A and B are shown apart, each in its own frame.
Chain A
Amino acid sequence: MTIVRTSLRNFFAHKGRMVLSGLAVVLSVAFVCGTLVFTDTMNSTFDKLFGDTAADVSVEPGGDGASGGGEMPSTGRPETLPASLVGRAGAVEGAGEAFGVAATMAVTVVDAEGENIGPTTGAPTIAANWTELDRRAMTVTAGHPPRGPDEVMVDSDTAEKHGIGLGDELRTVSAFGEFTSRVVGIATWQVTNPGAAALYYETGVVQERLLGGGEVFTSVAVLAADGVTDELLKQNVRAAVGEELSVLTAAESAERNKEGIGSFLDVMKYALLGFAGIALLVGVFLIVNTFSMLVAQRTRELGLMRAIGADRRQVGRSVVIEALLLGVVGSVLGVAAGVGVAVGLMRLMGLLGMTLSTDDLTVGWATPVVGVVLGVVVTLLAAWLPARRAGRVSPMAALRDAGVSADGRSGRVRAVAGVALTGAGAAALVGAAGAAEAGPGALYLSVGVLLTLLGFVLVGPLLARVVVRALSVVVLRVWGPVGRLAERNALRNPRRTGATAAALMIGLALVAGLSVVGSSMVASGRAEVDRTVGADFIVSSMAGQPLTPQVAESLKDVPELAHVTEYRSLDELTLTLPDGGTARGSVSAASPTYARDVRAETVAGELAGAFEPGGMSVGEEFADAHGLGVGDRLGVAFPGGRSGELEIRAVTSAEAMIDQGVMYVGLRTAEEYVPAERMPLNTLMLGTAVEGQESAAYAALKAELERYPQYEVRDQAAYKQLLEDQVGQLLNMVYGLLALAIIVAVLGVVNTLALSVVERTREIGLLRAVGLSRRQLRRMVRLESVVIALFGALLGLGLGLAWGVAGQRLLALEGLRTLEIPWVTIGGVFLGSAVVGLVAALLPAFRAGRMNVLRAIATE
C-alpha cells in the first residue's frame, strides 16, 4: 500500500514532467481510436444508405460479373432485364409490389459551363428513374420529380456544389449518345450521402437513352407483403424468374453494394492504423526516456527506500505503478481525443467532396477497449526497463552524491547486439537489392528494414559519441564555448541522446526511404515514357470512364493526326494452355499501330506480330510460369461466349511499368470473336500527329474534347507530369501521416531537454553565477537540441537512403529501373530537422533562461 501511495505522490509531484510522455500516449491512442471511430462511422453510414435504399428482394441480371448498375461496365452498356419480369416477380405469393429500376453509372453529366458535375472522389454519378426506393432516402425539396422526356431532377448536394438551380440545362453523355434536359426538381438526402451525384429522369428516358432502348430495367425491386420475410419472398421470386438471374434479399444487396467500398475502407483503416502504430512506437522512446530520467533524478530517494527496507521489486513496482497511472490517464484522454480526430477526418473527407454527417458518429465498444488496453500496455512495456533499473539502485545511493552511474557492461552488450543486428540487416538489404525474384526479395527487404532499424536504435548511443562530435565540429564550434557546452551536454548521456534521436530517426528514415522509391518511380516512369512511348498524345479519363464511341470517332477525324490507336481492356479472360490446363490473364485489344505507339520491350518475337490476325502476346512471367514461348497456341475465351485459338507471336518483358504482364491481341482479332454489344469501349486512345503538326494536333484534340470534361488529352510532357503528380500526391499523403510520428518525436526532444534543464538546475545556476548570460544559456539549450535533432536526422536519412536504394534495386525487377535520390528533399529534411530542433528547444530554453540564479545554486 505504501508503495502505491509513494507512487501516487511521485506521479502527482512530477505531473509536469509526465505531461509530454502523457501527450505522446494521448496522441497515439487518439489516432488509433480516431481511425476506428472514423471507419466504423463510414461503415455505418454506408450500411444505412444501402440498407435504406435496398428493396426487400431485388432481381438483377445474372451471369458472369453481372452487377446491375453497381459497377461501371467497360462496355458502357449496363446489363439489363426485360420489363416483363416486373409482372412475373410482382405476381408471386407474398409480393406486395414490384417495379423496375433503371439505373446506370456509365454516364457523365455536364452543366452549362461545360463542367463535369460528377464527384471527383471516385464516388459514382448515378442516373436513374425516380422510384419508391429513392423516395425512402430523399425528399423533393424544390420543384418536382421528372415528368417529361426533357426533365431531370438533381440531388441537392450536387446542385449546391455546382450552383445548379431549377430551369438550368444539363447535358448527359453516355455510350449511347448525349441529350440535354432541364432541371425541374431538387431532391435532398435524408440519409448521409457519401458523395455520389444522383440524377433522376423519366423511366423512358433512362431506358431509351442510357440503357440502349427497349423495355428494359437494370433490376426489378419486389416489396414484401405484410408478414412475409425477405427470405421467403426471395424463394418465391427465385422460383418465378428462374436460375439464370440473381435474386437478392435487402441484406444481401446491401452486402454486395458494400463489398467494394468495404475493402477500400479496410485498406484505409489498416493504413491509418499502421501510421498510428509508428507514432506509438516513437512514443515508446519518449516514455522510456522520461522514466529513465525520473529514475536517475530520484536515485537518492530510491536508495533511501532501499536503505529503509524496500526490496528491489517494491522499488521497481513503484515505477511501474506510475507508468500504469500515466498509461490509464493518457489512454482515457486519448480515447476521448480520438472522437475528435474522427470528426477531423470526416471534415477532411468533406473537403475532398465526401459528405459525412457527425450524426452518424459510431463509437463501437471495441474502440475504447482497444485504445485503453493499447495505451496502458505500451506504456507499461516502455517503463519496464527503467523500472528494472530503479530496482537495481543500491541502498548506498542514498548516501552518495547523486551521481550518474556509468553502465559499462550493458553498454557493451548493447553495442555488440546493435552492431550484429545492423550487420545482419545490411546483409538482408544487400540480399534484397540483388534478389532475382520479387517474392524472396520483398522478404529480405522487410527483414533488412526491421533489423537495421533495431540495430540503429541499439547502436544509437554509441554512434552519438562519434556523430555528435563530428556534427559539433561543423555546427557547434562556431558558437565557441557555448557550442562546446552544448556538445558536452549532448554527449553527457549518450543513451538518452540516442533514444531521443532514435525517435526522430524512425519517422525520417521512412520519409527518406519512401522519397527515394517515389522519385525513382517518377524517374523510371519518365525514362520509360521516353524509351517506349512513340505516340504524341494520350487521351483518357481520370475517373476511369471509358471513351464513348462518339468521342472515339471524333478523335479519329482530327486531320492533324497521322494515326489514332484504340485500346480496349478485355479484362481477365480464361485461357486454355497447350497442355489442356487453364489460366487467367488480362487481355487488351489494340490497333496494330499500338506496337509503334508503345514499344513494349519483348524478350522473344516481334510485338507487331501480336496485333496481326490470329496473333497475341503474353507477358514474360506468364510465359515462364506456364512454359510458353513464341509459336505456342492459346485458347482464349472471349466475352460473349466465343473462343478462339491464337498464336503467341511475342513475349513482353516483365521489366516494364506500362502494361506490365498484359497480353495483347489485335483489335481486329478481338472484333472477330466479341459481339459488338459486348465489346468494351476504349479505356484510352493514343494519337500521333502528322510530322510537323504536333502543336496544331494538340490544340485540335483539346478543342475536340472541350465538350467532354471527363476526358483529357495529354502530350508526353503532360503525361510525365501526371505520373509525377500522382506519385507526389501519394508521397504527400504518406508524409502527412508520418508527420504524426515526427510530432511525437519532437515532443520527445522537448521532453528530454525540459527534463535535462531541470536536472541541471545547479549547473545552470553556476553558469549564470560565473557570467553566462541568459542569451548564451538559451543558445546552449538550443544548440543541444539542434545537434540531437541533426543526429536523429542523419541516422534516419542514412537508414532511409539504404532502405530506399535496396527497395529500388528490388523493384527494378518490376520496371523501376532508374535510381533517383531526391537530394533536394533529403537536404531539405536535414535542414528542416535543425529547425525542428530549434522549435523543440523554445520552451526548455525559455525555462532555463528564467531560472533564478540564487535558487538554482541552492537547489539540492
Chain B
Amino acid sequence: MQKQNMTVPEGTRDLLYREAELYDSVSMNFERVYTQMGFSRICTPAVENYELFKAVNRSLMQENIYKLTDNTGRLLAIRPDNTTPIARVVATKLRNAPLVQKLCYNQHIYRVNSENSGMRNEILQSGIELVGAGGIKSDLLCIMTALDALKTIGLNFKLEIGHVGYFNALISKMSLSEEEIMDVRSFVEAKNFVSLNMFDKNLQNDVIRKLPLLYGNEEVFAEAETLAGDNAEALAALDYVRELYTTLCGAGYGEYIMVDMSMVHKFDYYTGTVIRGYIDHAGEPVLKGGRYDKLLEKFDYDVPATGFAINVCAVADALIKSGKLPAEKHSYAVIFYDTDSLNAAIELMNSYRERGLTCELSAFETLAETEEYAKAMNIETVIDLTSGKDGDKA
C-alpha cells in the first residue's frame, strides 16, 4: 500500500493505551455526573441531512462541514454539532413525551478546519440538553451540572456566565445595519479593542468600547449597570445573571464562577444565559453552552431549552500536559496451560478476576514465549500449569 494511505486524515488521530483510556475515563466521569442528576443517554447518527444544520444554524459555515451524498444524490453532513440533531429528536420522536426532557450524550462532532492549523477535525463532545423548561431553576440545573462535571477533571477551573440579551439590547439601540451588527458582534466576541476603537471613531459610542471589558467577578455588575443606563431589557438580562451569580455563590460555587457580560457565542441560536468553562493547561474554552429557546421552534415545536457541551479532547490534552495520565495498568498474572490443564487454567483465571485482578491466559504455544511476553508487558507472575511434561520449560 502507498505510504500516504497509511496515515490518518488531517485533524484526526489514533488513540492508544493510556491515552485511549484517558478519553474513556474523562467522558465516563462526565456521564456519571449527568446520569446521577437524572439525565438519560441519547445517541444520534453520525450522518444527517445537510439541510438540517444549515436550516437552524446560520453561523455554521458550509466549508467547515464534511459532506457526502446518499444513494439518491441528496446531500448529507457528518454531524458538525450535537445540539441540532438532539433538538430534532425531541421535536419529532419525543414530541408527546413528558417535559422536561433531560438528555446527555458522548459523541463525536466533525468540522473541517484549515490545513496545518493544529486543530482537531474530530472532536469528542460530552454534554447535556435540558428541553422544556425556561425558568431560572433550569439554568441553575444546567450550570450546576456543568460545574460538577468540570470538577471531576481534577484541574483548576472557572465557569463564566453571561447573557446574550444584554449585548443584543444595547446594540439594538444603536441604529446599526445588520452588517455592522455582525462586525461589532465578532469584535466584541474576540475582545478586539483595536477594531472596536476604529469602528467607534465615527460612532463615538462609549458602550461599544466598554462592552468587552465587562468580565470578572462581582465588580462587573456595577459597571454593566452604568453602561446599560435606562435600557430596561439590558438591565433585566443583567439582573438575571446577578441572580444566578448570587445563588451559585450562596450554594458554595463562588470560587469557580465568573461573569462576562460581553459573551456572545459564535452560534447564533443562543437566546439567553450563556456559559463557558476554562481549565488550566487548555488554551481554549473547554465547555460551551447556554439557552436556546428558539431552536426547537424551527422544528415546529415551541419549547425552551438549555444545555452545554464539553470538549473531551481538549480536557484529555490538558490532563496529559499537566502530567495526569492514568496509572499504567499491568496484568497481575499470565497462565501457561495445555489441553489437560485448560479447565484448571480457566478456574484459576476466574478466581483472580473475582478478586478484581487482571489475569491473562497465555496465547503462546511455548512457555519460553509466554515468559518473554510477560517480561515485555511488565507482568510479574507467570503461572505454569503444564508441570513441564511437554518439555516446553527447556
Q: Indicate, yes or no, whether A interacts with B.
A: no
